[in-house]
Structure formats: structure tokens, C-alpha cells
Structure 1
Amino acid sequence: MASPELKTITELLRARQEQAPADISFPESRALFEQMTAAFPLPENVKSTPVDAGGIPSEWIAAQRVGDEQTIYWLHGGGYCIGSVNTHRGLLGRISAASRARVLAIDYRLAPEDPFPAAVEDAVAGYLWLLSTGVDPAQIVIGGDSAGGGLTAATLVALKEDGKPLPGAAVCISPWTDLALTGESLSTKAKADPMITIEGITRVRDAYLGDADPSAPLASPIYAGLSGLPPLLIQVGENEVLLDDSQRLAERAEAAGVDVTLEVWPEMIHVWHFFAAMLPEGQQAIDRIGEWVQQRLGAAVTAS
């Protein structure tokens, strides 16, 4: 049974969703997201340091006593239209502490000002910059939440196609992997999901893609060739419309020979990790990511 805090959070999110004006602009949506996530500041004993990652505004986020041997390269969520390092700083501080690894988070370009494939281009460029600093790719975990989770998979595909060194592992939280919007859970979980509506997700999809094909592999990585990708951890909530996106990514990656760990968390909502300061399951999921990251990076050290 889920914690009592989940009900409170779900009710607040549902009320916020119902009150949001249908014609809200993307700049207004960005400001609201910044306002909401201000309630989740950087945890104590975590430092953030701005960095220019090859021309991309970025930030190092590192918990106390974390070295530079292991790095998590994070791509934030927000439907490719909102979100930033700033909105995700609290979440990433917790991930750094749990994983005992520093985090590099980038502010990739957003739509509609910079539509597809700008986000993929920036994600690849930021990763290549990280490699240029001398970091061992086997000691990198690439990760992302929501749209950033889909972008994580797309970035891996792009790197593989370009013959670039792949990271040692990947983490996707509630990834959006099918911009063609064919998942059954978009309808079957619509009433249970307090965060994402079909109208809202269609709007950001159209803003991001423009005239591009929704089934293009770098837009919707479930349609890409996934063989050769590194071990992948996928966490998704039972009560979210993107449940099928996670399950189908796991199925197709596993069929392609990828080492996949899929965790469907009972009763959880989209990227419940965000609420870890008040939601026990949020911190539990982050702790699980930390354990998995350490297992994978430790295995990479042993193998080398």
C-alpha cells in the first residue's frame, strides 16, 4: 500500500492540473514549473557549480565527499518545452548522494523555439564534451526523466550510429519514448494520472516535432535499433499514462539483447521521485537508482 503522502500529493497535482488555463503559453508554463520546483531545493551537503559544456549552459551537482571518478550525465524532463537544470537541481542532488557520483546536467535547447532535433544534438554535444575532459565512458551513466528519459534513449542511439563510445549504463525515469502516442496507457491510465493529459502531451509533441515524423527513431526511440546499448534501468509508476512507453522500451531493448531492469512501482505517478522530500517512495526509488548505478559502475571497474 502506498504511503498517505501520495494521496495528498496526487490531490494537489490534480487541482493544479484542473486550474491550469488551456491557452497557457510555454513561457508561462516554464515559469510555473520553476515556481513549483522551488519547493524542492538542493539538499544540504550538495553543491552546484555552473559549467560551459561545449557551449551548452550546464551545471555540476555533487554531494559531499563525491569524487570525479564516476559521473551521471542527466537530461531533464519537461516535454522538450519546459524544465531546466534549475527545476531539477533538488532531484539531482538526491541522485548524486544516493549514487555517490557527481551529476552533469545540461540545459539543452527547448521547443518551440528550437524544435527537434535540437535537443538530441545538444545531448550528444554535451556528452562528447564530457568525454573530452578525460572521463572514462565506462564510468558514465546517462539518465533522464520523462522527455529526458526518451532523450536518453535517443542519445544512446545517436551515439551508437555515430560510432562514439557509449556510457557504461543508462537510467530512464518514466520515459516518454513514443511521440506517435500509440501506447494504450494513454487512455487506460488517463483518469489515474494527475499530471499528464492527452491534450497536454499532444501540444508539447507538436511543438517539439513540427513537421517531423513522430516515428523517427531519434524522436521516438522505441522505433530505433536498440542492439548494442548499455545496461538500462527503467523506473515507471503504475498510475501514469506513459506506462506503456516504459514497458515497450524495455521489451524492445531486451529483444535486441540489452540488459534491461524494468521496475513498475505500484500506485506511483509520473516521476514521483520529484517529491522525495515528502514522499517516502520517492526517496526509495532514488536510493534504488543509487544502488543500481554503483553495481553497474563497480562491475565496469572490475571488467576493466
Structure 2
Amino acid sequence: MTNTPPQYLQAILPSTIDTYNAWISSQGAVPAVDVLAADNSTRLLWVGPKYASKVVLFFHGGGYVMPLSKGHLDWMAHIRKEASNTGIELSVCILEYGSYSEKNRKKKMNAKLSDLIPANPYPRQMSQGISALKHLLNSGYTPSEIIFGGDSAGGHLSLSLMAHLHRHRPFDPLKESAIDLQGAIRGCFLVSPLASLNFNTVSYSRWFSADVLSRKNVEKWGNYLVENSPWQDDISSGNAWGMSMGVPESWWKGFAAIERIILTGGSEEVFRDHIQQLGDLLKRTSEGDVTIHMANETHDGPLMDFAAGRPPSETTKAITDFIISCFGE
């Protein structure tokens, strides 16, 4: 990940839609895809029926560089199964990052398009996340029937969506309007989220050889995300849309858009210090319930569980229990 250019990784790995279609087929199911009207290109990929009693909007990790993995799909299927065991009918919809064009894809004779970064820097994914949430609300889901969240870069996107719900960010050319929730979103889970590009922490120097991530990796992919984008202008003006911890804490004061938040991380990951700091910040500024779960693991423990085929870790159980608890009340 550190030394391979993004375009090479994206050429080697199956695309998000190819991974999704293959996985759905292996489950004996039929793909269910929504193309969002906001830009006629953003896609939501469904695991389970489109209209269940509850829904999880999932933003997958991979630094905005790597596409969706089978491990992510296995993880979401596990959550659905555990929820079903408690009598909760739950579906998952997964956001496909980047732009999609069937015409261009055919023109390239099945060549993979660069739908992630650096082709689509900030705030493209954020605008897609907003459109995805609006789509669920317009489809009939109420805020209390929705939980959103993600791992790593997906956690960063979840924080960006949280920030937008707190203070609307105007968009161009989509010109996304503010979301009128008519009530708070039921919950949000943040798994090893990127919360800062400040590398002067103990965890960055202590765990550089233990974690799957390194400073070089995070810095390089972080630059791909923010270069040639309005990211620095947003941060300099004191707005937390692009990075939750890059602005004064007062910006988050009175955050009330989500009822319950769980933030998880590993004690041996380079994000450790930022995750702990973020959790403390949210506890001080949020009007909802905030839980911090730190485990003896490295980055993105739940994805590692399903990518390696190992039993669910305590972090995976904590997130699953959080979703069931939110929807079970």
C-alpha cells in the first residue's frame, strides 16, 4: 500500500461493483443497485432488501484509494445476521465512491476506471455521502431508522457527514441543500477513523512498524485526497467538514444530529492518539451519547477479522451490539 501508486492498486484489485456482484452471486442473491438522481452517477449497493424496517448506510475503508473488499461485505452480512437473530429486520446499503459512467466503461472495453482518489479528491465523497443519506430519507426511512458509519476512510467520511449535519457545507456543482432531518439520526459508528493529518503524536512514532498503516502511507494518501481541492480553505476558515480535529473545538459545540455514537480504535495503531482525542472531544461537545472502545489491536480490527476469516473480535462485537442496541430500543 505504501509504495504502489493508487492507479496500480486500482488496476490490480477488482472494482467495487465487480466485488459486490461476485459476492452477491455467491450468496445466491440478485444485485440491487440504486443510481442517485443528484448526479445520475453515484451508486448505492444493497445487501438485503431496499425496504427493511431499519437500515445501515455504510462507508467502506481503503483510504479512498482501494475499492470495496469481500471482507467489508462479510462484515456487513455478519451484522445483518446478528440483528436478525434478535428480531431486527436490517438492510445495508454501501456507497460506491467516485463517478460511474456506463458509456465510458464500455468505451474502455471493460478497462477499470479510476473512480477513487486521486481522480476524485475532497469533497466528492462527502457530497456523495450527503446524497446517499438524502436518498434514504426520500425513500421513506426516518432518521430513527438509520445508522451510518464506516471504517478508516469510511470513518473519515462519516465524520464529514456528521459535520455537514451540524453545519451545512454548500456544494458546487451539486449545490447540495441542507438536510432537514426532522429528528436525530439513530446512531453512528466510527471504526479507526482518520481524524487528523497531524503526525506529531506518540502513536505515530511508537507503532510505525506494528500497524498496517504508516506515516508515509497516511501522508501520501492524505495528500491525494486534499490536493487540488478546497480542503485547506475549509480548514483555514475553521470548518470541520474535511477533518474533524483540524478546527477549534467550539465548532462542534452543541452537536445534536445523532443520538448515539460509538468510536473504536486499536491501542497499537498509528491513529490511536487521534481516536482518543476525538472521542474526548465528542464527549464534551455532543448532546448525544458517546462511547469509546479501544482494544488491543492495530488499525481497523473488524475488517481484519473478516479479511482473515478469524472469529469476531471484541471490537466487532462492540459495533454489532451497538447497532442492535440502537435499533432494539
Task: Indicate the TM-score class for this superposition, using the shorter chain for normalisation.
Answer: 0.7 to 0.9
Match of residue 252 from structure 2? 225
Percent of matched pairs sharing the same residue? 18
Match of residue 224 from structure 2? 207
Residue in structure 2 matching 1:252, options 253, 256, 281: 281
**Is the CA contact (8 Å cut-off) linking 1:98 and 1:287 kept in structure 2?**
no
1:83 CA displacement: 2.1
Whether 2:81 is the aligned partner of 1:97: answer: yes
**Is the CA contact (8 Å cut-off) linking 2:64 and 2:153 kept in structure 1?**
yes
Measured at CA, do residues 220 and 138 of structure 1 come closer, stay the same or move farther in structure 2, by a change above 3 Å?
same
Measured at CA, do residues 189 and 203 of structure 1 come closer, stay the same or move farther in structure 2, by a change above 3 Å?
same
Whether 2:10 is the aligned partner of 1:30: answer: yes
Of 252-261 and 86-95, more deviation after overlay is shown by 86-95
- What is the TM-score when the length of structure 1 is the normalising length? 0.79
Whether 2:96 is the aligned partner of 1:107: answer: yes
Structure 1 gaps of 5+ residues are: 1-16, 300-304
Distance 1:34 1:87 in 2: 13
Residue in structure 2 matching 1:279, options 310, 318, 328: 310
Structure 2 gaps of 5+ residues are: 85-89, 99-115, 169-177
* Alpha-carbon displacement from aligned partner over 1:14-64 (angstroms, at most 9, x marks no partner): xxx6xx6x2x221222345549x97x956858775222233311211129x
Match of residue 294 from structure 1? 324
Secondary structure, in 3 states, of the residue corresponding to 1:263? strand
* Alpha-carbon displacement from aligned partner over 1:194-219 (angstroms, at most 9, x marks no partner): x1111111111111101532845111
Match of residue 168 from structure 1? 186
Measured at CA, do residues 41 and 276 of structure 1 come closer, stay the same or move farther in structure 2, by a change above 3 Å?
farther
Aligned-residue CA RMSD (Å): 2.8
Distance 1:128 1:236 in 2: 29
Measured at CA, do residues 131 and 210 of structure 1 come closer, stay the same or move farther in structure 2, by a change above 3 Å?
same
AA partner of residue 174 (structure 1):
S
Of 155-164 and 104-113, more deviation after overlay is shown by 155-164
Distance 2:117 2:298 in 1: 25
Whether 2:228 is the aligned partner of 1:198: answer: no
Whether 2:99 is the aligned partner of 1:69: answer: no
AA partner of residue 77 (structure 1):
G
Match of residue 50 from structure 1? 33
Aligned length: 272
Distance 2:11 2:317 in 1: 29
